[in-house]
Amino acid sequence: YTGDPLYSHGTYTTMENRFRQQVSFDKLMMIGKAKVSGRLRLEERWRDGFAGTAWRLRPYVKLSVPVKGKVALNLSHESFIDLNTNTFQKVAGEERMRNAISLNAPIGKHVALEVGYLEQHGFVANAADTNDHVAMIQLNLSF
pLDDT in tens, 60-119: 999 999 999 999 999 999 999 999 999 888 889 999 999 999 999 999 999 999 999 999
Look up residue 129 and give its amino acid: D
* pLDDT for the residue 13: 65
What pTM was computed for the model?
0.84
Residue 32 is classified by DSSP as T
From CA 30, how far away is CA 63, in angstroms rounded? 9
Find out whether 111 and 77 touch, Cβ atoms under 8 Å. no
20, 79, 80: which is closest to 44 by C-alpha? Answer: 20
User: Which is nearest to 114 in space by CA: 64, 39, 56, 48?
Assistant: 64
Residue 90 confidence (pLDDT): 87
Span 9-29, mean pLDDT?
83
How long a stretch of residues is the chain?
143
Residues 105, 91: contact at Cβ < 8 Å?
no
Q: What is the DSSP string of 66-79?
A: EEETTEEEEEEEEE
